[in-house]
Amino acid sequence: MATQAPKPPSFAEIDRQLCVPGTPFELETVQINGLTNTVWKHMPKVFRPYLLGSLAKFSDQVLINAPAAEPAPVTERVDWTFGQVRQLSLALAAWMAARGVKQGSLVGVVGYNTAEWIITWVAIHALGAVPVMVNAATQADSMAHCLKLTKPELVLCDATTAVALSSLAGQLKEGGVGPLYSWQDTTHLGKCSVERIDLAKLQVTAAQIKAVEEGKGITDLGPESDGVIFFTSGTTGYPKAVLSSQRAALHGVISSVYPLARLAMRQGAPASMVLDMVANPPQEDPNVILMAVPFFHVTGCLSILLKAIGDGNTMITMRRWDVPEACRLMVKYGVNVVSGVPVILLAVMQSGLLPKDFKLKFASYGGAPAPERMPGDIKKRWPEMISATAWGMTETNAVHSVFGGEDYVTYPKSAGAGLPVNELRIVDPETRRPLPTRSVGVIEARGMNIMKGYLNDSEATAKAINSEGWLDTGDVGWMDENELLYISDRAKDIIIRGGENISSEEVENAVFRDDRISECAAVPVPDDILGELVAIAVSLNPGAKATPEDVQATVHSRVRSPARPVFVYVSDEPLPRNANGKLIKTEIKKAVQALYAQKKRRESKL
């Protein structure tokens, strides 16, 4: 008779064994804004020494392999070492200091994934200043809104955003925004009033650079000092500026390692072995990461870039997302890690462009829901690879819950477990009282990684975070007996059909069981009797063929009656996404509702 495998220890039991004094995962309690918080005792407390120290440690290794700046052909690529980035960052910091930037100053950085973006970001932190990371993929008026909201003393940008913002320079100046500079040549893009600076030829002295390196002028920079400003996605309106402390933004340095230690114990490794491997990691070649999510997003910046610098890894970037080009780069440069949003890994996996013997070591994703079948499909394609999924948001500084490996395969609908330094709870949307296990309600989050607040918007901050430090995430979900979180929906995305709440994820997961489907978004369409009905927009995998009618017929057998789509739109193009990889459901809903209205009008004339 087969012996039944022992039940893995619970996440809580693992935490008790790993988070003990003298270990890398040791915890301590601190007071933050009058509230007691649990924090990683041995995490870096501020950005400056962590970044400059890591860049020096891995000086000769390649940090980023990137396309040369336009108008150079996309095939022309450049290696930038950790040491080069460090030296150019110190010089740029000295240049900024000469223009009045100091500890606590806000400095805008607007651009796509380039070495210059990283150099600017490190330079800002080298002064103890605060980077204001504007979404470069939004419209110029949205970028202007972000800058006027935060009023940075200087703004550094790439050529594309320099041209976009050039026509708004007067408006920005009147709004209290400091001067704009471009780190790239803009002449190939036409007229642009933004001043060009060459990061390799800045007029600074060795003494000025030394002063920055030694931290002259930095006095009381600490864990609760202002650290970063990101912006919300802005899928439902203008973005809000999310201000976080140094400590909150740095939590991922340890929070991203801890789930792997948990995973090892869930698979049977003793705590002593796991802790020894974390404290004395084996010498391995640096990982090579396909970097296909923007640095201006918390996932790209805090989950990938920050760790790449700290671990000595190499990032392979692209000018814009292109599946064939991504696959070519993965093969050429030996990419073994893919991180970001699910669509990235799905696209390369489904493309058929990777050799059958191509191997990946690790894949992690979050920021957008993954199809339920995804972990199983990954395991079939790369049986030895570890895949992980995480849930978080800009306001939680990326990851707040996470898990991977066999747990993810076993519980593919889950968004993982919380961490020892944070909390999760499900509350009634009206009373805000905690709900029992498996009850669906609003997800609230608390912990050291929560934002300070929305800059210059105290009303929105008070609405989002209560007096006990609980953040209303706006997500709806539930927790099971294994301490795992499940995301049901965004509160505002629930389709209410005749008083019955229908999760868009429920519909989308059923649609994704059809191998022809690449993307899917379930949205409501209006109905005079029931209020709302379910509709879906889909795009197809390369070479697949499908009509709205047969997609509809296929999904109808897989969902309960109220959740069956009454309308299907098959798009010839990928569904619209914002720069963070999230489907823009407001845009999709508007298009689908217009098409559905046309269909209803045609039918009424018959």
The answer to whether domain 47-248 and domain 506-604 are alike in fold is no
Architecture of domain 11-42+251-489: 3-Layer(aba) Sandwich (3.40)
Domain 47-248 top-level CATH class: alpha beta
pLDDT of res. 579: 74
Long-range contacts of 441-444 (CB under 8 A, 24+ apart): 441/476, 441/477, 441/478, 442/472, 442/473, 442/474, 442/475, 442/476, 442/491, 443/473, 443/475, 443/476, 443/477, 443/485, 443/487, 444/470, 444/471, 444/472, 444/473
Query: What is the mean pLDDT, run by run of 10 residues, along the chain of 606 residues?
Result: 76 97 97 97 98 98 96 95 99 99 98 98 99 92 95 98 95 98 94 94 98 96 98 73 99 97 96 94 92 93 97 96 94 95 86 94 83 88 94 96 94 95 95 95 97 97 97 94 87 71 84 94 87 93 93 91 93 88 89 95 84
Quick check: 515 and 542 in contact, CB under 8 A? Answer: no
**Euclidean distance between CA atoms 252 and 305, whole angstroms:** 11
Three-class HEC string of 7-20 = CCCCHHHHHHHHCC
Tell me: cis bond preceding 71? Omega within 30 of 0 counts.
Answer: yes
CA-to-CA dists, residue 360 to 331, 335, 415, 517, angstroms: 11, 7, 22, 24
Quick check: 65 and 179 in contact, CB under 8 A? Answer: no
Three-class HEC string of 295-312 = CCCHHHHHHHHHHHHHHC
Phi/psi-derived region of residue 416, left when phi > 0, alpha when psi is between -120 and 50, beta in every other case:
left
CA-to-CA dists, residue 269 to 25, 127, 283, 386, angstroms: 17, 43, 20, 16
Decide: residue 380, CB within 10 A, 0-12 exposed, 13-18 middle, 19+ buried.
exposed
pLDDT of res. 235: 47
Lookup result for tokens 């150079």 = 72
Domain 506-604 top-level CATH class: alpha beta
Quick one: which of 313, 302, 315, 312 has its CA closest to 254?
302
Q: Which residues pair with 229 in a beta bridge?
A: 132, 243
- Please report, for the chain, the start and end positions of each structural domain, with discontinuous segments joined by +: 11-42+251-489, 47-248, 506-604
pTM of the model: 0.86
Quick check: 241 and 438 in contact, CB under 8 A? Answer: no
Read off the amino acid at residue 97: A
E-strand ranges in 382-513 read 386-393, 398-404, 414-418, 422-427, 441-447, 453-454, 471-479, 484-490, 495-497, 500-502
